[in-house]
Amino acid sequence: MKMSNPMQERPRGFTRIKSKDKRTWFHVLQVDPKDGYGWFDEMVSRDYGQVYKEKKLLEVDIPEYSYRIVRRSSYDKWEEIERAYER
């Protein structure tokens, strides 16, 4: 069956991509003590406000370290992500 509108025709070999599972987005507070070993993860949360508040507290307590907040995603459930960062 030919479609009436030429814009609706799919190119040869086109296959629709199946949608993936829903991603879980979260924020990670990272600390660099400037000792040559690089950044490490300090805190993980789905709420940016909690991570930002902790960053500001640490900047006051230990100003000689560097801090940053990174956003990550995973296809895992939130409980699995929390458990992985608790190690």
pLDDT at position 8 is 65
pLDDT at 4 (0 to 100) = 57
pLDDT for the residue 15: 72
Give CA–CA dist 76/17, Å, rounded. Answer: 21
Q: Which domains does the chain have, with CATH numbers?
A: 21-85 (3.10.20)
Instruction: Note the pLDDT of residue 65.
Output: 95
Q: Characterize the bridge pairing of strands 40-45 and 66-74.
A: unpaired
Integer Cα distance of 53 and 38 in angstroms:
22
* Residue-by-residue pLDDT tens, the chain, 87 positions: 555 565 666 667 767 777 777 899 999 999 999 998 999 999 999 999 999 999 999 999 999 999 999 999 999 999 999 999 886
C-alpha 36/C-alpha 53 separation (Å) is 26
Rounded CA-CA distance 29/42 in Å is 5
